[in-house]
Chains A and B, each alone.
Chain A
Amino acid sequence: MLSRVAERVYWLARYIERAENTARMVMSFHLVSLDMPKTMPLTWKNLVAVTGNDDIFDEHYQREDERNCVKFLLADHYNSSSVFSSLKAARENVRTTRDLVPSEAWEIVNELYLFARDNMDSGLGKRGRYQFLTEVVQRCQTLTGLLAGCMSHDPAYDFIRLGRNLERADMTSRQIDVGAYRLLKRPEDDVTAPYDGLLWTSILRSQSGFQMYRQHVKRRINGVDVVHFLLQDIPFPRAVAHALQNVQEAIERLPRNEVPLRLVMQVRRHVLGAEVDHLIKEDRLHEFVDTLQREIAGVHGAIVDTWFALDKAA
């Protein structure tokens, strides 16, 4: 398999996963914002910070209000991680690898891109937002299902799995980070404290994890348990540990895999070995997530160097 082609299907999967997760995040924040009392509005800018693109936001906007933040996350083309940019990039990647994936994959991605482009206005407004985002998430899931069910599980598919799960691990860790600041030691008289439960529920919801949490954790929603669930739960497919296990399995099937394999196993060990309540007690959760994201980026770098890098001459 050509390196260039491998790289394109890998990015196809990453961008689709990114679009889906960004849509999920905006949706859950949107829902919880409807529950918050008018006197304590949510800070939408936190959501932008989660994506790591807040400096680009600051270049383009002065007001950090809901409208600007949602527009930045869903529509803006100068935000390379916005839902629209991600779908556009995914479309370009599938367009150039049409021979490798089932032909319906191109149709799904192309139609999704056109849908997002033509209906973006309803996504930006409060009234049509829920429907718009649900549609984006569902269509992303359709693609994932199509590829899992109709594509030979060959190296091309391994790269798709790799991209999807690495992006998922990264995005879920960012979600944990949203909650992390709520767990910091706060002044005794913090009036927003009673609303923590709402926020954690929304974070779980954004990963479709609320029901799974209820079924498997069986305790009332609290920060420590939610972080533990999203970080370390093995059966839950959107948990970091589960996604990394998938990354590892995909890497194991690929040739010349020593370096990336070593790295991903190391990250998995760190994730599984983390003592969540200690991290929280010692105010080190954000720091931990930060390191985790750097390690995930390291796995990506090793994947690029091993299989995609084109400048390595004969």
Chain B
Amino acid sequence: MSIDWKSYDPKPFYDELIIAPGKPRPVARKLTEYLSSLDDKELQTRKQAADHAILEMGISFTVYSEGENIDRAWPFDIIPRVIPKREWEAVQAGLVQRLTALNLFIDDVYNDQKIFRDKVMPKYVLANSKNFRKQCRGIHPPHGVWAHICGSDLVRDKDGTLYVLEDNLRVPSGVSYMLENREVTKRVFPEVFENSSILPIDEYPTQLFDMLAAISPRPQDYPEIAVLTPGIFNSAYFEHSFLAQRMGAELVEGADLVVGDDDCVYMRTIEGLERVDVIYRRIDDDFMDPEEFNPDSMLGVPGLMRAWRKGKVGLANAPGSGVADDKVIYAFVPDMIKYYLDQDPIIPNVPTYLCVNEKEQAYVLEHLDELVVKPANESGGYGMLVGPHATKKQRSEFAQLIKKDPRNYIAQPTLSLSVAPTLCDEGLEPRHLDLRPFVLQGVRTDVTAGGLTRVAMRKGSLVVNSSQGGGSKDTWIVDEEA
């Protein structure tokens, strides 16, 4: 028996591969036909081949449990998610537009603050911003770019519209899994690659290297680039080590680096001290430099901020970039795009109600049973209220929280995320997913062709985090005209 697309029914959700049972989207026709040509046994064989490849390639993520770090095999579903190239080109343009505006905003915040003076944005958002770093005032990083690497989370609603759910401007992760998912899929379904025009994604490490090289303080020399990791205990250590290897960069920890009397950054090597030009740092601002931020940090490098401020080292992302990674500021991104670029946003925001605004707060309090309420500065889904699934008691608790600290809360309508067919124990089932493309901005801006698709493997679940039972899929941008 093989897959019968007539008996796969994603209702009531938008499905990425089919329009209705038995009716694939044009872009996915080749894939669905190919999948139907495999019998159950063959499909299982491919699934096992994928599991095997993941183990063999050592693709893992780290979970901390019972005082020990466990490397878990990366959860992966072999059925790809497919997006037409024409649709993707608009998304790419939208992401470039968005990150350009965000970088103009961050540069403005730390310098002239025109956007507040022109009353496009109220200044109170800064006063309560957790990720605003006063140490960054008056700094002009190269090319005016602060957030060089951005991972924006996109979700598709039931009518098929893609929205930006949030912009991750601090240390977004996942790109290594995007690359590895493609490697695995090529091993599992080589036939489909032969017959369709799927955009390649593997230039990312080169683009990342070029972008980092572009912020080197010694542009005339071959740059010494280092990836700064908090270490083996970090859940994204696999990615840190992967990117360092793919770029031919050193993977360093805080203790490997030292800032000299000349304010340059050096690595401790067996040859002695060697100068580092650019650091792709994968540790948070707070832990980066105990002289300027958290003094107890063991992960950071004393004097790193000083070296950066004096232009002796490039840092990506620049310290303080996280100021734009705030859900209240998120609500203003469409206004930023209008203000800095004089353009209309290409990808819409999810409608967002700011509780600090009295009228909007009244609306939120009245509609708590329909809305999702989120704290402004948390990530990873902490401290959230999902109105439709919450109890009366939880809702009234949140009403109190909102009234007490309105700046810290926003609300959004509950979206019904799109689904895609996923190979589960029960067979082929619709599962919810999102998409994280990665954007690199330096002298030029590059967007990955697709991104990391994360899937909630549990039936009905909207949680896509790998630590909480989430899986992933390869994402294909398919050129239908080629």
Contacts and interface: CB of A to CB of B under 8 A. Distances in A.
Contact of A96 (B232, B245, B269, B272): B232
Interface stretch (A52-60, A284-292, A306-314): A306-314
A155 interface: yes
Interface in B120-138: none
Given A4-B253, A99-B245, A314-B260, A254 B270 contact: yes
B338 interface: no
Given A2-B267, A99-B241, A99-B251, A314 B273 contact: yes
B227 to A, nearest CB: 11
A270 to B, nearest CB: 27
Given A99-B251, A313-B258, A314-B260, A1 B241 contact: no
A95 interface: yes
B271 A255 contact: yes
Given A95-B232, A314-B261, A4 B268 contact: yes
- Most A CB within 10 A of own CB, among B58, B252, B270: B270
A2 B250 contact: yes
Residue among A3, A254, A256 having the largest count of chain B Cβ atoms under 10 Å: A3
A313 B261 CA distance: 9
A314 B259 contact: yes
B38 interface: no
A314 B276 CA distance: 13
B116 interface: no
Interface residues of A, number: 19
A98 B237 CA distance: 12
Nearest to A95: B232
Interface residues of B, number: 26
Q: Give the secondary structure class of A's interface.
A: loop
B443 interface: no
B271 A256 contact: yes
Given A2-B250, A98-B241, A256 B268 contact: no
Interface string A274-311: 00000000000000000000000000000000010010
Interface string A1-20: 11110100000000000000
Nearest to B253: A4
B266 interface: yes
B255 interface: yes
A2 B258 contact: no
A39 interface: no
A103 interface: yes
Nearest to A306: B270
A245 B373 CA distance: 69
B266 A314 contact: yes
A1 B270 contact: yes
B270 A4 contact: no
Contacts of A1: 269-271
Contacts of B252: 2
A160 to B, nearest CB: 13
B39 interface: no
Nearest to A158: B270
Interface in A98-148: 98-99, 103
Interface in B188-246: 231-232, 241, 244-245
A191 to B, nearest CB: 52
A255 B268 contact: no
A4 B272 CA distance: 12
Interface in A18-66: none
Contact of B58 (A4, A103, A254): A103
B256 interface: yes
Contacts of A310: 255-256, 268
B93 to A, nearest CB: 37
A19 B231 CA distance: 26
Nearest to A92: B232
A197 B267 CA distance: 55
Contacts of A255: 270-272
A313 B255 CA distance: 11
A6 B269 CA distance: 8
A4 B241 CA distance: 15
Contact of A4 (B256, B264, B271, B273): B256
A109 to B, nearest CB: 14
Contacts of B259: 314
B53 to A, nearest CB: 14
Interface of B: 58, 231-232, 241, 244-245, 250-253, 255-256, 258-262, 264, 266-273
Given A3-B270, A310-B256, 20 more contacts: A2-B256, A2-B268, A2-B270, A3-B256, A4-B253, A4-B255, A4-B268, A96-B232, A98-B241, A103-B58, A155-B270, A254-B270, A255-B270, A256-B270, A256-B271, A256-B272, A310-B268, A314-B261, A314-B264, A314-B266
30 contacts: A1-B270, A1-B271, A2-B267, A2-B269, A2-B270, A3-B268, A3-B270, A4-B253, A4-B255, A4-B256, A4-B268, A6-B270, A96-B231, A96-B232, A98-B58, A99-B244, A99-B245, A99-B251, A155-B270, A254-B270, A255-B271, A255-B272, A256-B270, A256-B271, A256-B272, A307-B270, A310-B255, A310-B268, A313-B260, A314-B266
